[in-house]
Amino acid sequence: MNPIEIYDCTLRDGTQAEDFNLSVEDKIRIAKKLDELGLTYIEGGWPGSNPKDVEFFQAMKKVPLKQALLSAFGSTHNPKTQPEKDPNLKALLQAQTPVITIFGKSWDVHVRDALRVPLGKNLRIIEDSLALVRPKVSKLFYDAEHFFDGYQANPEYALATLKAAMRAKVDCLILCDTNGGTLPSRLASIIQVVKKQIKGIPLGIHTHNDCDCSVANVITAVECGIRHVQGTINGFGDRCGNADLCSIIPNLQLKLGLPVLNPDRLKKIRDVSRFVDELANIRQNKYQPYVGDSAFSHKGGIHVSAVVKNPETYEHIRPELVGNIQRILVSDLAGRSNILSKAKGYGLDVSSKDPLVSTILTQLKELEHQGFQYEGAEGSFELLMNRAMGTRQQYFELEWYRVTVQKVREDQPPIVEATIIVKVKDQVEHTAALGNGPVNALDNALRKALVRFYPELNEVSLDDYKVRVLSSVEGTGARVRVLIESGDREDKWGTVGVSTDILEASWQALVDSITYKLYKEEKKKNQGKK
């Protein structure tokens, strides 16, 4: 049986979702995470459409992927230009990815009303665009946009567009339910016709969720023999979203028994789901199948009584297969199991009976109750473990800090200054610094105070800063979570802070960021001595 190819579109199609935004650094971190998960292809973006994606593909040339192949996405050439002169196709080739995916029009309505060209010319546009790219790339995929709508409107023409792509010798034809309005039964009947008409080339599936059938449509397509599957993490995408890989992958592997991921990697899918949520600054959907907090939760009554005796009574799979855990909401013991499982997921392999673990788990539980999240904040989590075990080194102590914001002219930004006093060993350092906002000023002042003692801090850069309001009920008095990504010449790490005061939450994350750098350098020196 042929293995399933998973083609992830989160970094391109997913970013079209409302309120979903990623920096270049975010996209790089997610790409690396998807590679660790073991996906076959990662679509990085559309280099012909915006400077951010151009920058991403340039940066990814220096980021080796262990398993996944990176794909650049773009359209067929503009009807008013020749393929070799088309800037979109040039940008695709300049991305220098091993895979290129090009989409074209399959629906005669789009050809007439969007492209405004004769139907025959669209066929030439498809073939000529793909033929230009074919000899210059290892893998070439064709996305047949609006294929199912196109087939229902004009079957012969929709099939003709696929045959045009076949003549250019593409590696796979992806059938797209772009409007997301096709029901599984209808989708299956169309795929069966396509398989009879289009032979000798693999087919793929790409679905949207406008009638809440995207995952079902993918499963149906696979049951019809399709082995190339496209989707996004958490189903992010335009309008109602794309097919959710966090549901598709477990369904294919655990329900249909198809080879998708190594079981050890399948256990990471929940962490990947939360990682993407955190970097996109979007609240996790607790009711999401397989990976949501509530996916295996039980609240009182008959359910709890049954699952304690046998989890299969109310759980369709074992939650640990997808990196999740069972939660019995009314039980203190279940809360302890929840936190213990999370700690083990971060590499804390200890017995629940160890007294030290009780201390660690109590701290974790209290911090998570306050709003701390450690997905995307690996640095803070490692420091937390060290502190609980009594091995965390304190490199400096805060005496006090003050931040002032002075607005002197309406047409100019305010002047922000941070003043700080810290104690390093027996020495007290008093410094001040300006900044582009309170957090930047505080960061500058802290580094200025410490760099004389720790020159390695000159290597640290603050690469990203995110704020999330944890509850809107309290209005301006709500608790906030600050996530900071820092980096040096070798590594990147995330740290987190939580408070009702945004500056205090930022301070917590800044302190962890600098402390983690110093801890990392100390650990490196100790390893060198061994």
Q: Token digits for 398?
A: 């805060």
Closest to 137 measured CA to CA, from 100, 169, 164: 100
CA distance 236 to 209: 10
> Within 13 A of 439's CA, how many CA atoms are on the CB side?
20
Pair 7, 40: CB distance under 8 Å: yes
Closest to 240 measured CA to CA, from 203, 205, 214, 269: 214
Q: Which residue ranges form the domains of the chain, and what is each CATH number?
A: 5-279 (3.20.20.70), 297-374 (no CATH), 459-530 (3.30.160.340)
- In the prediction, which pLDDT does 311 show? 84
Q: What 8-state DSSP symbol labels residue 87?
A: H
Strand locations in 188-344, DSSP E? 203-207, 228-231, 297-298, 327-328
- In the prediction, which pLDDT does 501 show? 92
Helices (H), 371-459: 378-388, 438-450
CA distance 105 to 126: 8
Instruction: For residue 263, give every residue at least 6 positions away whose Cβ sits within 8 Å of its Cβ, in sequence order, or none.
Output: 321
Instruction: With 0.85 as the threshold, say if the pTM is over it.
Output: no
Pair 462, 443: CB distance under 8 Å: yes
Pair 483, 496: CB distance under 8 Å: yes
To which H or E segment does residue 464 belong? Answer: strand 461-469
3-class state of residue 230 by DSSP: strand
Instruction: For residue 204, give every residue at least 6 positions away whose Cβ sits within 8 Å of its Cβ, in sequence order, or none.
Output: 5, 7, 141, 172, 173, 174, 175, 226, 227, 228, 229, 230
Pair 201, 178: CB distance under 8 Å: no
CA dist 421 to 204, 440, 445, 449, Å?
61, 17, 9, 8
To which H or E segment does residue 421 belong? Answer: strand 415-424
- In the prediction, which pLDDT does 389 show? 72
pLDDT one digit per residue (tens) for the chain, 530 residues = 578 999 999 999 999 999 999 999 999 999 999 999 999 999 999 998 889 999 999 999 999 999 999 999 999 999 999 999 999 999 999 999 999 999 999 999 999 999 999 999 999 999 999 999 999 999 999 999 999 999 999 999 999 999 999 999 999 999 999 999 999 999 999 999 999 999 999 999 999 999 999 999 999 999 999 999 999 999 999 999 999 999 999 999 999 999 999 999 999 999 999 999 999 989 889 899 999 988 998 866 666 667 777 888 889 999 999 999 887 664 444 445 545 555 565 555 556 666 766 777 777 778 878 888 877 788 898 888 778 777 778 999 999 999 999 988 888 889 999 999 999 988 999 999 999 999 999 999 999 999 999 999 999 998 889 998 886 555 555 789 999 999 998 888 999 999 999 999 999 999 999 999 999 898 888 776 65
Q: Token digits for 430?
A: 């008093």
Helices (H), 371-496: 378-388, 438-450
- CA-atom Rg of the chain in angstroms: 26
Pair 231, 2: CB distance under 8 Å: no
Q: What 8-state DSSP symbol labels residue 238?
A: S
